[in-house]
Amino acid sequence: MSHSYDIIKVKGDEKMNILIAEDEKRLRILIKDYLKKENFTIYEAENGEEAEEIFYNEKIDLAILDIMMPEIDGWQVAKSIRKISKIPIIILTAKSEEEDQLKGFDIGADEYVTKPFSPKILVARVKALLNLVGKKVEIKKYNDLKIDMKSHKIYFKEEELNLTPKEYELLLVLVQNKGIALDRNVLLDKVWGYSYFGDFRTVDTHIKRLRKKIKVNYIKTVQEKYNIKLEIIKLNQIKKIEKNILEDNKKRRMDNFLKRLPKREIYLFLKEITKEEFEKLDNGKEIIKILEPNFAKNKFIILTRKLNENELLILSKALFPINQSVKIASDFFAMSSIFTIIIGTLLIIIFSSKITNPILKLNKITKKMTKFDFTEKSDIKSGDEIGELGKNINKLSFELEQKITELSLANRELKADIEKERQIEIKRKEFISNISHELKTPISIIGGYAEGLKDNVVDDEAGKIFYAETIIDETRTMGNLVKELLEFSKLDSDGEKLNIERFEIGPLIKEIVDKYKYLEEKMKIQFEINANKEKIWMEADQDKIKKVLNNYISNAIKNVNENGEIKIFIIQGNNKIRIEVENTGSFIPENKFKEIWTPFYKMDTSRNREKGGTGLGLAIVKSIIEKHKGRVGIENLKGKISFWFELKQVG
């Protein structure tokens, strides 16, 4: 087929449906605004569970999935989609490590977009992926033929052809392979499948029907030409021609001569000489044969050589006497050999045991040494080389035992160091990943909203004000994050000195609680301070302790249940002051007690900013208290949780 076909776009008002699953609301709004401007229908999900529900209930053409979402993460949503659909999936995340990208592509993602990103670039990638899947490329055109890939209909000059499913598939295969001669086997496999057991006539019949329905000879049959090459091998017929040794009168004279021979075996021998053997005699060579005639129960060995033109030298000897002599000799040698072997073996066993027993014992010791068993020692006291070898093996065993013990200890220490380094590396990667997420998300929002203002994504004044306020708010959030990060860095590296002063702890706690008192009515919660009436003094950096108390109390406010209580206890004892901040309605698994103090750690693995801060607060608290030589801790109580810290009491 020499014709070509063109791909054309379907025109119509049908909008394409895009799912945006992103827990960061501001980022989700930004992506939605850009895509709505391109006339897409948008479905929003703030967690993985919502994303799956929307996908199952709506006809989604493309999914944009954030990885770190609450409920169900983006990886799991992508897997669920891939089980039943091949729609394009764009992974949206702050994680830029190669293994994360590979994981995304292994699951079946089509694109991997890392934050920060340009919304315009994201829109371009969305369009490119939708064009690839063919939502807008549904009709193929081949001259006057149009093939609707979606409805499986074919039109000839705008008139629909009444084709059977197999005729449609056959014509589609031919069009997709235009200009290529397809063998009937190929067509059978592509249209009817490998399990079909029909013959080529099925293809020919369908081709005839297609030609009849299309009316134009688009389908051409290519006749193959075969050059048959015959290779003729000429074989010469070989006929066996029997000849006597001598011809004519020579033959008769030789027969008379042979008949007069006293030994019939020689006569039989000469009668069996072949033409080739006779030629060897003519060339001066000898012939040796063993003959077993019918008239004798014996074999003869015969040697023949031509002396001259008319004389043959024939030597014959019966093998029986020779065999008898050989048998007698063999029996004698066999008996003498057996006797010699028995005597020799006994002597060898007796004398060799004196040598081999020590060697076997040493071998047993060395075998145990190969299994790191050094308990058995050599007790050979002889003064020869074997005795010396035993002493050396004992010495080697002792040295190896010492060295292996040392190596085992060193190996344990090395394993511990490697595991420690591995844990440090894991924490380092986790720290970088977390800080990247905390920084990349606001950067994406700030850059995206600024780009949106420039591109007039929103036309109304209220929308523009919302974009500007979002930029200002995210800038402030990012500034606070950088400030906390610098503060933690100073505390962690001993770069900041404490301003130690004496102050009363009770009034400081009351001052902080009074600041939050307005929330009692608004959130329907209750504050309570429990302390002794006498004054309790503390020597510490007052500003730093104030920061610790603010963190504990603000965390309690975020996590307290409705109609719940927040209690602050000031406890004295054992020359220590213990401050406890307790709130109802919370619980933290004990296996998380240690992790919760690490930088950027969040109980919510999706790192949703609306559900908490940066994850640096408790890490800063721990650094401050440890700088004061104090302790921090968590305790689960019945229906509530308590965060506490201890410092030395001042008299």
**pLDDT of amino acid 139:** 66
Per residue in 79-127, pLDDT (tens digit) is 999 888 888 899 887 766 666 667 777 787 888 888 888 888 889 889 8
**pLDDT of amino acid 442:** 80
Tokens for 580?
Answer: 């406890």
Question: What are the angstrom distances between the C-alpha of 499 and each of 502, 509, 547, 630, 648?
Answer: 10, 19, 14, 16, 16
Neighbours of 457 (CB within 10 A): 21
Per residue in 504-535, pLDDT (tens digit) is 888 888 888 888 888 888 888 888 888 777 78
In the chain, which residues fall in CATH 3.40.50.2300?
5-133
Per residue in 547-568, pLDDT (tens digit) is 899 888 888 888 888 888 899 9
Q: Band of the pLDDT at 610, cuts 50, 70, 90?
A: low
Tokens for 429?
Answer: 């990667």
Given strand 17-21, what is the order of strands in its sheet? Answer: 41-45, 17-21, 62-66, 89-93, 111-114
**pLDDT of amino acid 645:** 92
Please provide the average confidence, as pLDDT, over all residues in the chain. Answer: 76
Q: What percent of the chain clears pLDDT 70, i.e. is strictly above it?
A: 76
* CATH code of the domain made up of 497-648: 3.30.565.10
What is the rounded CA–CA span in Å between residue 623 and residue 599? 10
What is the rounded CA–CA span in Å between residue 49 and residue 47? 6
What is the rounded CA–CA span in Å between residue 563 and residue 571? 26
**pLDDT of amino acid 137:** 45
**pLDDT of amino acid 20:** 94
**pLDDT of amino acid 636:** 87
Question: Between residues 454 and 390, which one has the greater pLDDT?
Answer: 454
Triad 520, 524, 527: Cα angle to 5°: 40
Question: What are the angstrom distances between the C-alpha of 529 and each of 46, 143, 163, 568?
Answer: 38, 87, 85, 5
Residue 229 has pLDDT above 50, yes or no: no
Cβ 299 vs Cβ 319: under 8 Å = yes
Helix (H) or strand (E) holding 565: strand 565-573
**pLDDT of amino acid 297:** 58
What is the rounded CA–CA span in Å between residue 146 and residue 149? 9
DSSP tag of 533: S
In the chain, which residues fall in CATH 1.10.10.10?
144-214
**pLDDT of amino acid 232:** 25
DSSP state letters, 440-482: HHHHHHHHHHHHHHHTTS--SHHHHHHHHHHHHHHHHHHHHHH
Q: What is the mean pLDDT of residues 340-350?
A: 84
Beta-carbon contacts of residue 408 (< 8 Å; ≥ 6 apart): none
Per residue in 597-606, pLDDT (tens digit) is 877 766 655 5
Residue 63 has pLDDT above 90, yes or no: yes
**pLDDT of amino acid 321:** 66
Tokens for 257?
Answer: 């001569």
Strand-pair category, 526-530 with 500-504: unpaired
Q: Which of 536, 477, 476 is nearest to 507 (CA)?
A: 536
Residue 651 has pLDDT above 70, yes or no: no
* CATH code of the domain made up of 5-133: 3.40.50.2300
**pLDDT of amino acid 424:** 73
Q: What is the mean pLDDT of residues 202-212?
A: 80
Beta-carbon contacts of residue 254 (< 8 Å; ≥ 6 apart): 245, 246
Helix (DSSP H) and strand (DSSP E) numbers for the chain:
18, 20
**pLDDT of amino acid 42:** 93
Tokens for 265?
Answer: 């075996």
**pLDDT of amino acid 132:** 58
Q: What is the mean pLDDT of residues 581-602?
A: 81
Encoded amino acid at 143, one letter: N
Residue 6 has pLDDT above 70, yes or no: no
* SS3 category, 395: helix
**pLDDT of amino acid 53:** 92
Tokens for 350?
Answer: 């007796």
Q: Which of 552, 455, 452 is nearest to 512 (CA)?
A: 552
What is the rounded CA–CA span in Å between residue 485 and residue 600? 10
Q: Which of 514, 588, 521, 524 is nearest to 553 (CA)?
A: 514
Residues facing 571 on adjacent strands = 578
Q: Band of the pLDDT at 32, cuts 50, 70, 90?
A: very high
Tokens for 77?
Answer: 């949503």
Residues facing 93 on adjacent strands = 114
Q: Which of 515, 522, 505, 492 is nearest to 576 (CA)?
A: 505
Q: What percent of the chain clears pLDDT 90, i.e. is strictly above it?
A: 5
Question: Between residues 177 and 9, which one has the greater pLDDT?
Answer: 177
Question: Between residues 11 and 178, which one has the greater pLDDT?
Answer: 178
Buried b / exposed e across 351-368, counting CB within 10 Å, b at 16+? Answer: eeeeeeebeebbeebeee
Q: What is the pTM of this model?
A: 0.47
DSSP tag of 63: E
In the chain, which residues fall in CATH 3.30.565.10?
497-648
Question: Between residues 554 and 241, which one has the greater pLDDT?
Answer: 554
Q: Which residues of 127-230 form beta strands (DSSP E)? A: 139-142, 145-148, 153-156, 159-160
What is the rounded CA–CA span in Å between residue 118 and residue 583? 43
CATH architecture of structural domain 144-214: Orthogonal Bundle (1.10)
Rg (CA), the chain: 51
Residue 329 has pLDDT above 60, yes or no: yes
Sign of CA dihedral 89, 90, 95, 96: positive
Question: Between residues 329 and 33, which one has the greater pLDDT?
Answer: 33
Per residue in 369-418, pLDDT (tens digit) is 787 777 777 777 777 777 777 778 788 888 887 888 888 888 888 888 88
Backbone angles phi, psi at 157, to 5 degrees: 55, 50
Q: What is the mean pLDDT of residues 181-206?
A: 69
**pLDDT of amino acid 35:** 92
Tokens for 112?
Answer: 């991997």
With tokens 């001569």, the residue in question is 257
How far is Cα of residue 552 from the mean position of the Cα atoms in its chain? 44
**pLDDT of amino acid 40:** 92
